[in-house]
């Protein structure tokens, strides 16, 4: 269970439980902390304090009176409505902004941050990298002190994309902590088939977030991943609707619930902004909508409504008292053909998608925030700039106006209130001043609610020492590591190939027992770890270049030698351990193809060897853009090569070198791949979705029992990939391996064989 811990002097407890005052100030680092018996704890910097009925309240607007919005005894909605009524349109326009990505290398506020906080009245700040938990806490406190002194004293609602995903080279040391606890990726969480574990992750992560000064999570990503080529597949809970519903509910409950609160909201809560309505999963041919060439979501199977279920049956119908996720982010895509009126524009511009469906039919009254940068101009088909799909011919201000008319409250990645104020003037001109004020106040109430309910108006500050002690503490690190081990899927174990191998007793998470003692007395097996070719890495969506291409070991030798003896020569080894990545088959668009006279569209391959798209559609389902003179985005008959074909060669060459000795292969996946090229050359085959390298060694050393299950199908070949429908789950022909096992959804092995437990029967 989550806990917010504030250590108080013993004398304070005596004062507060006696007959003295109902409040007491206690020491705090950089702010004043007021603890009240039977009342709210206040964190304050410069705001005057008002006393009423023996309690203290913050006079945030400094008018000498206790306003409704300042009275923590009143319901959050009543307070939000009172404050919204007091705000100017300029202040409301600021609430409707959501900052671009903000790095926190130190505790001081930058001049740029001061500008958007003061001049643009922005209060939703997206935090990316932080130097340390203590620095993050001090930066948060500086931000909160700054905005407390402005206008109505509205606190900053800091937020974050997912922060707890593992790093392969991060070492786990039992009993020690880290910068933040490391848990499986969303696809890895899905592979555990355990909603209770996902809820526990939410509880831990939200505790860490609040210690860092973060009150909103831009997660979970609950798109139903029915298109196997999609580059954002790894951020989802996979392709199964029932799984996605259960995981979405568990995740949001874990983040939003404050234990012991009647309505579930409080100081432990973190708002969950679920994404991406109405699902970005069915991207045509897998191309992603961050780019013009991937802006269409398609529904050849007629399954538009199925993609709504993780939202409408999961995130909007929680088991916990908060009842529903507090915020939603639509995806960039044009949900092609979904609007009965025939209008094909990006989801945040589509009134049917936002007002008629989300707000009307499904009753969602929380915050709707656009994805980042949708109102900017798009310079070229392949550019990563503005994502104004379907409204390319409008001005920036007109796009803001269309978004607000569609029913959206907030603009992701926009630090400038100017276009929002222009949109307000357009509303006044079309519908009148009263209507414009009512519409903007409606969004203001929704936005303010998420700060009132999480206690930010009472205490937005966080203790730097507590942040250092909470974030990444030993207990959280251990829980995350154990969850990572549960997320790895064993696909093949020919003849129990690992049974005869002996590992050192060191390096194991669990306490040593008789088996470890026997292993210590046995001859330790020797392992051959071949170097892997690392192509030049690219950043998110291929936008930045990483280190130059190189040959290197995929595992650190010092870590490997905690488990096995190291063998330089495969002839001296008892087994080989090969660590590779999924095929890197491109984004679906090639500028060179366009320059040579083609349309630019190419296949996305899920196999290592060169691929020719003989079975692709002759005519694309959707297409067209002002910058293109055609509407057919077909790539039939075109070829594509992967950048890491050497990974397949590495497996084959290693097996040839090892002969009859076991070859153990780990493949890291962010989406499905075609196993047919790799599996015949393996004795033991694992797939994982991003874990610390020690987890791989724990499994190779049989220090952990595999329990993960496939959260998606692995296709037999690329033909079944091309012929499946982007919006339909479970519609590929799964690969069947040399042992006769089908790599279908919910398949996985433990050391005894195929897993058939209650998790499988629940979700299959």
Q: Where are the domains of the chain?
A: 10-70, 76-166+173-470, 488-583+644-763, 588-641
Which positions are catalytic?
A: 240, 371
DSSP-derived secondary structure letter, 47: S
Q: Which CATH class is domain 488-583+644-763?
A: alpha beta
Closest C-alpha among 484, 540, 585 to residue 167: 484
Instruction: Specify the long-range contacts of residues 649-655, CB closer than 8 Å, at least 24 apart.
Output: 650/530, 650/532, 650/533, 650/578, 650/580, 651/578, 651/580, 651/678, 651/681, 651/682, 652/681, 653/530, 654/528, 654/530, 654/570, 654/576, 654/578, 654/681, 655/576, 655/681, 655/682
Q: Which two tokens stand for residue 531?
A: 């170097």
Tell me phi and psi for residue 113, to 5 degrees. -70, -40
Residue 390 has what pLDDT?
Answer: 97
Residue 462 has what pLDDT?
Answer: 97
**Which pTM value belongs to this model?**
0.95
Residue whose structure tokens are 């269970």:
1
DSSP-derived secondary structure letter, 740: S
Low-confidence stretches of the chain (pLDDT beneath 50)? 1-18, 508-509
How far is 390 from 403, CA to CA, in rounded Å?
Answer: 12
DSSP-derived secondary structure letter, 494: G
Same fold, 76-166+173-470 and 488-583+644-763: no
Residue 1 has what pLDDT?
Answer: 43
Residue 14 has what pLDDT?
Answer: 36
556 in Cβ contact with 646 (< 8 Å):
no
Residue 5 has what pLDDT?
Answer: 33
CB atoms within 10 A of CB 73: 11
CA distances from 9 to 6, 22, 115, 449 (A): 10, 16, 39, 33
Query: For residue 629, with 0-12 CB atoms within 10 Å meaning exposed, 13-18 middle and 19 or more buried, which class applies?
Result: exposed
661 in Cβ contact with 574 (< 8 Å):
yes
Superfamily of domain 76-166+173-470 in CATH is: Glycoside hydrolase, family 3, N-terminal domain (3.20.20.300)
Query: How far from each other are the two terminal CA atoms of the chain, in whole angstroms?
Result: 30
517: helix, coil or strand? helix
How far is 245 from 407, CA to CA, in rounded Å?
Answer: 25
Which residues on neighbouring strands pair with residue 329, listed in sequence order? 275
The alpha carbon of residue 258 and the mean position of all alpha carbons in its chain are separated, in whole angstroms, by: 21
Residues in the chain: 764
Q: Which two tokens stand for residue 303?
A: 């399954």
68 in Cβ contact with 59 (< 8 Å):
no
358: helix, coil or strand? helix
Residue 404 has what pLDDT?
Answer: 98
- Cα torsion through 426, 427, 429, 430, rounded to 10: 120
702 in Cβ contact with 512 (< 8 Å):
no
How far is 37 from 456, CA to CA, in rounded Å?
Answer: 19
Longest CA pairwise span in the chain (Å):
85
Closest C-alpha among 743, 705, 692 to residue 165: 692
Q: Which two tokens stand for residue 264?
A: 């579930």
How far is 463 from 471, CA to CA, in rounded Å?
Answer: 12
Residue 170 has what pLDDT?
Answer: 78
Prior bond of 278 cis (ω within 30°): yes
List b or e across 652-681, with b for residues whose CB sees 16 or more CB atoms inside 10 angstroms.
eebbebbeebbbbbbbbbbbbbbbbbbbeb
């Amino acid at each position: 269970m989550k806990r917010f811990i504030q250590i108080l002097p013993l004398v304070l407890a005596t004062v507060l439980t006696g007959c003295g005052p109902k409040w007491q100030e206690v020491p705090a680092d950089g702010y004043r902390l007021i603890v009240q018996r039977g009342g709210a704890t206040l964190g304050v910097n410069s705001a005057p304090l008002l006393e009423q009925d023996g309690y203290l309240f913050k006079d945030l607007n400094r008018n000498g009176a206790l306003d409704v919005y300042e009275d923590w005894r009143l319901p959050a909605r009543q307070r939000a409505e009172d404050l919204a009524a007091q705000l100017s349109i300029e202040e409301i326009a600021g609430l409707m902004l959501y900052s671009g990505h903000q790095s926190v290398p130190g505790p001081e506020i930058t001049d740029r941050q001061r500008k958007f906080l003061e001049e643009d009245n922005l209060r939703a700040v997206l935090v990316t990298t932080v130097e340390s938990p203590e620095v993050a806490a001090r930066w948060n406190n500086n931000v909160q002190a700054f905005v407390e002194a402005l206008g109505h004293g509205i606190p900053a609602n800091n937020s974050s994309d997912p922060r707890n995903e593992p790093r392969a080279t991060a070492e786990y040391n039992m009993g020690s902590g880290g910068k933040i606890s490391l848990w499986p990726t969303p696809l890895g969480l899905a592979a555990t088939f355990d909603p209770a574990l996902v809820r526990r992750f939410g509880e831990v992560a939200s505790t860490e977030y609040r210690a860092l000064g973060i009150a909103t999570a831009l997660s979970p990503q609950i798109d139903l991943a029915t298109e196997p080529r999609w580059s954002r597949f790894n951020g989802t809970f996979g392709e199964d609707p029932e799984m996605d519903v259960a995981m979405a509910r568990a995740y949001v409950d874990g983040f939003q619930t404050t234990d012991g609160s009647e309505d579930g909201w409080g100081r432990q809560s973190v708002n969950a902004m679920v994404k991406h309505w109405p699902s970005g999963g069915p991207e045509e041919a897998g191309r992603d909508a961050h780019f013009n060439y991937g802006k269409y979501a398609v529904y050849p199977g007629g399954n538009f409504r199925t993609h709504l279920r993780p939202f409408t049956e999961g995130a909007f119908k929680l088991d916990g008292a908060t009842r529903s996720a507090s915020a939603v982010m639509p995806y960039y895509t044009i949900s092609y053909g979904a609007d009965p009126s025939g209008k094909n524009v990006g989801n945040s511009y589509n009134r049917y998608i936002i007002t008629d469906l989300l707000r009307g039919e499904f009753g969602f009254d929380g915050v709707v925030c656009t994805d980042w940068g949708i109102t900017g101009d798009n310079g070229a088909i392949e550019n990563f700039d503005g994502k104004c799909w379907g409204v390319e011919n409008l001005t920036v201000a007109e796009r803001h106006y269309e978004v607000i008319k569609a029913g959206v409250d907030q603009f992701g990645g926009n630090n400038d209130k100017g276009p929002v104020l222009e949109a307000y003037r357009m509303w006044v001109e079309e519908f009148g001043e009263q209507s414009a004020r009512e519409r903007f106040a409606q969004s203001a109430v929704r936005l303010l609610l998420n700060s009132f309910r999480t206690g930010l108006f009472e205490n937005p500050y966080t203790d730097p020492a507590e942040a250092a002690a909470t974030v990444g503490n030993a207990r959280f690190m251990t829980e995350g590591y154990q969850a990572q081990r549960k997320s790895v899927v064993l696909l093949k174990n020919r003849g129990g190939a690992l049974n005869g191998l002996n590992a050192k007793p060191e390096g194991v998470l669990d306490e040593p027992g008789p088996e470890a003692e026997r292993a210590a007395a046995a001859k330790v097996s020797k392992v051959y770890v071949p170097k892997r070719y690392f192509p030049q890495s690219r950043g998110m969506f291929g936008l930045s270049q990483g280190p130059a291409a190189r040959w290197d070991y995929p595992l650190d030798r010092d870590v490997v030698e905690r488990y096995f003896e190291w063998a330089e020569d495969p002839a001296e080894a008892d087994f080989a351990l090969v660590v590779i990545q999924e095929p890197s088959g491109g984004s679906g668009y090639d500028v060179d193809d366009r320059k040579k006279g083609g349309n630019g569209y190419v296949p996305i391959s899920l196999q290592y060897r060169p691929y020719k798209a003989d079975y692709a559609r002759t005519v694309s389902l959707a297409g067209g853009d002002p910058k293109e003179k055609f509407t057919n985005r077909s790539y039939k008959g075109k070829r594509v090569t992967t950048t890491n074909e050497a990974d397949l060669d590495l497996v084959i060459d290693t097996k040839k070198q090892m002969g009859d000795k076991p070859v153990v292969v780990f493949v890291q996946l962010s989406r499905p791949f075609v196993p047919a090229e790799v599996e015949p050359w393996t004795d033991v085959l694992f797939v994982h979705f991003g874990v610390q390298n020690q987890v791989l060694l724990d499994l190779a050393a049989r220090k952990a029992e595999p329990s993960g299950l496939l959260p998606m199908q692995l296709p037999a070949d690329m033909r079944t990939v091309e012929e499946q429908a982007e919006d339909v789950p479970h519609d590929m022909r799964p690969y069947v391996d040399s042992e006769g096992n089908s790599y279908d959804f919910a398949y996985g092995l433990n050391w005894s064989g195929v897993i058939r437990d209650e998790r499988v029967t629940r979700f299959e």
